[in-house]
Amino acid sequence: MSEGIRVDFRPAGVVVADRGRSSLTLALAVLGLGVATAASAFVRIPLPWTPIPLTLQTFFVLLAGATLGARAGALSQLVGLSVLWASPTLLAAAAPGGLFGPTGGYLLAFAPAAWLAGRMAGGSRLRLTIGLLAGAALILALGALHLVLVIGLSVPAALAAGVLPFVPGDCVKALAVAGIACGLRRR
């Protein structure tokens, strides 16, 4: 971080303050994490038994909540969705079939998940980690609900295709984000 910028952790997450430039710094962070979430749709590992690929998107959703706080983290994910909608190439990578395709529910969960993670980001490392896991669980839950209601999978099929394969990776992502956020606290 450049000299003169102070990072201060509060119950709602990270507040970036810098005499007169805090709004610009926060706006750039919101934009950057939103674009990173959208672009990370290209980092994907297809799984043969499910239409949902493994991506890095959840990592950036959780990172946005943990570092920007609830409101700014959620806003960054709305920016990310806007970037996806503005770019047919990114949208095709992130959501084949658009919001009515199999990944639509996960994408719609990004802003609420970042808000939830950001809301719980203050306080202890344990509280932060629980908040990040709750955000990841919300993404999986809304994604599975979408698979049931929009795609027409049964509940067991939605859990098998849209939740269970992603739990280990989401736990690793949540722990990695917790480590990054706690490292930023020490700075």
pLDDT of residue 94: 63
pLDDT of residue 96: 65
Domain boundaries, the chain: 6-186
Topology annotation, domain 6-186: Arp2/3 complex 21 kDa subunit ARPC3 (1.10.1760)
Average pLDDT over residues 94-106: 78
Which is nearest to 9 in space by CA: 143, 122, 94, 108? 122
pLDDT of residue 90: 67
Give percent above pLDDT 90 in the chain. Answer: 60
pLDDT of residue 166: 97
**pLDDT digit string, tens, across residues 56-90:** 999 999 999 999 999 999 999 999 988 888 777 76
Mean pLDDT, the chain, rounded, equals 85
Average pLDDT over residues 144-151: 95
**pLDDT digit string, tens, across residues 6-47:** 444 444 444 443 334 488 999 999 999 999 998 888 888 999
pLDDT of residue 99: 74
Phi, psi of 47 (to 5 degrees): -110, 130
